[in-house]
Structure 1
Amino acid sequence: MEGTRIRRRPPGFPGLAGRPKSHSRLPLTAIGLAAALVLTACASGKATTGATSQPAAGASSAAANTAGSGGGKVSLFVIGGKSDDPFWSAVKRGADDAAKVVKANGGNVTWLGPQNYDNLGPDAAKLILSAKSQGATAIVGADWVPEAQNEAFKAASSGGVPVFLFNAGGAEQAKNVGALTYTGSEEQLAGKAGGEFFAKNGAKNVLCVNTLPGAVNTEARCKGVAEGMSGGGGKSTQLPLPSSNFGNPTAVTQAIKSALLKDDSIDGVVTISTGDADSSAAAIEQAGAGAKIKLGTFDMNEAQLNRIKAGKQLFCIDQQPYLQGYLAVSQAYAYNAYGLLVAQNTLLTGPAIINAANVDAAISGVQAGVR
């Protein structure tokens, strides 16, 4: 969720602070593999029954048997966030662009999302089972709350439906549910990078505002921030707010303002979403603490980047949501239709620290609706 999260531990993951422009890009090898999938998919509208790639460790044999099965119509289902969630609109933009290839070759892609985030795990589990019952030939999904969702994912993968995790869950949960790959960010590492950046810029006590407590990716984010701050000689505590407050700027602003007025040693605030960052900016201003408190957020939009450019926000942590949707759907289609599977069973799309040194390079992507 905003959204990435969260798995494998490759050396030199992209996007740490101090690497101005190239850090926001996926390694060229991964981009080349993804491009190869899409180009191959464009080359023919007919599925092949030729040799298939080996499934990732932990993938169910039932799901693996559907690779490149040929003959049947490809029907992909994507379990993502709310349609009016700005972060998920960028993920969906990527999924929609990849879906053009699927549709051009006679298949279809269906996006399913919850009405709200009040009961996220159980609601997402129902969507997974709904996708399976509707004849999904592959399911792309975010594993936000494993204890609520994993049985549904396992029902799909063990029942012959390939599963591709993205955004949340990571390599660990991908293995647990029999998914073939995970595409997204390493949320704890992303949080650690943010905590280290706070510490490097003088913060000693950072408040991590979590409006989706209990979700595996948001919990990992706050945990990572605390780890990064600890390594820099500071500390971070979590402010968990009811998930019903997600998307309620007034409630979030008042809760953050109250926390700031209660503890005047707080000199940094980080949020798990851009909407919450806007609420934090308002809370900091209302508390009269703009000169003291540094603001950071996971994910980004034009408002965040403009604040960074104006010197009113320290950083954003980008997980490149467009790539999550685009690469995950591309992989699911290429596997379904042709038995193709990338060699890396985890594709990292982040993290990348966006700050005053590189903010200009990120603005055009946000304006295009892909970052």
Structure 2
Amino acid sequence: MERMQTRRPSGRRLSTRGLTAVTLLAMAAAALTGCASGKGSGGDGGQSTAPAGGGSTSGTKSSGKNSIYVIGGKADDPFWSAIKRGGEDAAKLVTAGGGKVTFLGPQNYDNLGPDAAKLTLTALAQNPSAIVVPDWVPENQDAAIKQAIAKGVKVFVYNSGGVEAAKRTGAIKYIGSDDYEAGKAGGAKFAEEGAKNILCVNTVPGAANSEARCKGIKDGAKSKGGTSKQLPLPSSNFGNPSAVTQAIKAALLKDGSVDAVVTIGVQDADSAAAAIDQAKAGDKVKLGTFDLSQSQLDRVKAGKQLFAIDQQPYLQGFYAVSIANQLLSYGVLPPQNPLLTGPLLVTADNVAAAIAGTKAGVR
């Protein structure tokens, strides 16, 4: 999904050094989880709860047992499944200590900001120890996040919003990728491969992460002599393959100068691939996307897609839950802010390793 506030990043070069401390933490947590019993289970309605080791949710905080609420995307969104997988693995350590991790998500993305704010307040009403939440639409969500912090809840922003969201709301830390920098990397890659006019398909217009992604694509392409424009589509089209395919096909037929298409998520990338084929533009239009799925990687491997930008969602879920738990339990907190999980550009050069990760359900 990628995020919901238009950011003005500093333009600094991403580094993997910021992951060192948390990687050590993650290794320790992973070793301990092997001894923990129970596993987070999926529920209907976009909600699920990792089994608790006693005590009600409302009584967890007062009894000293950690109660962590994770706000995420739709239950049937493949990207969020990878995030939840990471969160559930980290939740094993929480439940081993008698605590509880609860996952909440919207039914759809039609009213994302207000819905995410309501989910945050729903979590707050349960007297949690910590809330982990993307800041997709700041104008809708910031007040709810600040309300939770004012009540003494430990809040982490992850996946969307960036370090700016954490600083603005008073959250402890941002955990995730830098969507703008990810877009810049993709835009530059397109231009380096000869693309001059890139279409950024945005099926969640107004969301901070998708706007930042398309802006990054534009700026990255410009830095290498290319150009880019957005194709904003109604958010109701998100996950509607037929509608997205027809919209992209129409745009390609209307403007023959478009020589590259990038989408904000993997479902839309499949639709874009179909649109390129139907427009008979496969010999001139390059394709790229944010995030990974098996179909994206298969196309990259076959030379039919230039790249997929991985923000490593499994790490976002795992780090967010495990760091919240470590802070609550031991006062341990990695100093890096933001704590970056990406981006990583997957191309023909490194696609084989990425395919192994998707088969394991973590990429």
Q: Which residue of 2 aligns with 1:303?
A: 295
- Displacement of 1:2 in angstroms is 3.8
1:30-109 correspondence runs (5 A): 30-36=22-28, 71-109=63-101
Note if contact 1:2-1:299 (Cα within 8 Å) is conserved in structure 2.
Answer: no
SS for the counterpart of 1:349 is strand
C-alpha distance after superposition, 1:304-351 (max 9, x if no partner): 000011111000000000000000000111111222111112110000
Q: Which residue of 1 aligns with 2:49?
A: none
Distance 1:292 1:30 in 2: 43
CA distance 1:178–1:43, shift in 2 (3 Å): farther
Q: Which residue of 2 aligns with 1:197?
A: 189
1:189-268 correspondence runs (5 A): 189-268=181-260
C-alpha distance after superposition, 1:30-61 (max 9, x if no partner): 312443566689999xxxxxxxxxxxxxxxxx
Distance 2:9 2:91 in 1: 27
| Structure 2 unaligned regions, length at least 5 | 37-60
- Displacement of 1:197 in angstroms is 0.3
Which of 353, 359, 363 does residue 367 from structure 1 map onto? 359
SS for the counterpart of 1:77 is strand
Distance 2:354 2:4 in 1: 18
Large movers: runs of 4+ above 2 Å: 1-12, 25-30, 33-44
* Count of matched residue positions in the alignment of Structure 1 and Structure 2: 338
C-alpha distance after superposition, 1:273-295 (max 9, x if no partner): 00000000000000000000000
- Displacement of 1:71 in angstroms is 4.7
CA distance 1:10–1:221, shift in 2 (3 Å): closer
Q: Percent identity?
A: 61
Note if contact 1:198-1:268 (Cα within 8 Å) is conserved in structure 2.
Answer: yes
1:108-257 correspondence runs (5 A): 108-257=100-249
Q: Which residue of 1 aligns with 2:350?
A: 358
C-alpha distance after superposition, 1:123-179 (max 9, x if no partner): 000000000001111000111101100000000011111101110011101011111
C-alpha distance after superposition, 1:246-276 (max 9, x if no partner): 0000000000000000000000000000000
Note if contact 2:29-2:93 (Cα within 8 Å) is conserved in structure 1.
Answer: no
Q: Which residue of 1 aligns with 2:318?
A: 326
Distance 2:144 2:199 in 1: 34
Distance 2:62 2:337 in 1: 23
Q: Would you say 1:341 and 2:342 are equivalent positions?
A: no
Structure-2-length-normalised TM-score: 0.88
CA distance 1:12–1:227, shift in 2 (3 Å): closer
SS for the counterpart of 2:342 is coil
Q: Which residue of 1 aligns with 2:267?
A: 275
Cα RMSD for the two superposed structures: 2.3
SS for the counterpart of 1:180 is coil
Q: Which residue of 2 aligns with 1:13?
A: 14
Note if contact 1:166-1:182 (Cα within 8 Å) is conserved in structure 2.
Answer: yes
SS for the counterpart of 1:206 is strand
Note if contact 2:2-2:208 (Cα within 8 Å) is conserved in structure 1.
Answer: no
| Structure 1 unaligned regions, length at least 5 | 15-22, 45-68
Relative contact order (alpha carbons < 8 A, sep ≥ 6): 1 or 2 greater? 1
Q: For residue 109 of structure 1, what is the amino acid of its counterpart?
A: V
Distance 1:41 1:344 in 2: 24
Distance 1:4 1:101 in 2: 30
Distance 1:286 1:26 in 2: 44
Note if contact 1:26-1:349 (Cα within 8 Å) is conserved in structure 2.
Answer: no
Note if contact 2:3-2:208 (Cα within 8 Å) is conserved in structure 1.
Answer: no
- Displacement of 1:11 in angstroms is 5.6
C-alpha distance after superposition, 1:168-223 (max 9, x if no partner): 01110101111101110000000000000000000000000000001000000000
SS for the counterpart of 2:205 is coil
CA distance 1:339–1:38, shift in 2 (3 Å): farther
Q: For residue 321 of structure 1, what is the amino acid of its counterpart?
A: P
CA distance 1:325–1:9, shift in 2 (3 Å): farther
Note if contact 1:4-1:187 (Cα within 8 Å) is conserved in structure 2.
Answer: no
Distance 2:214 2:13 in 1: 22
Question: Which of 361-370 and 28-37 deviates more?
Answer: 28-37
CA distance 1:72–1:29, shift in 2 (3 Å): closer
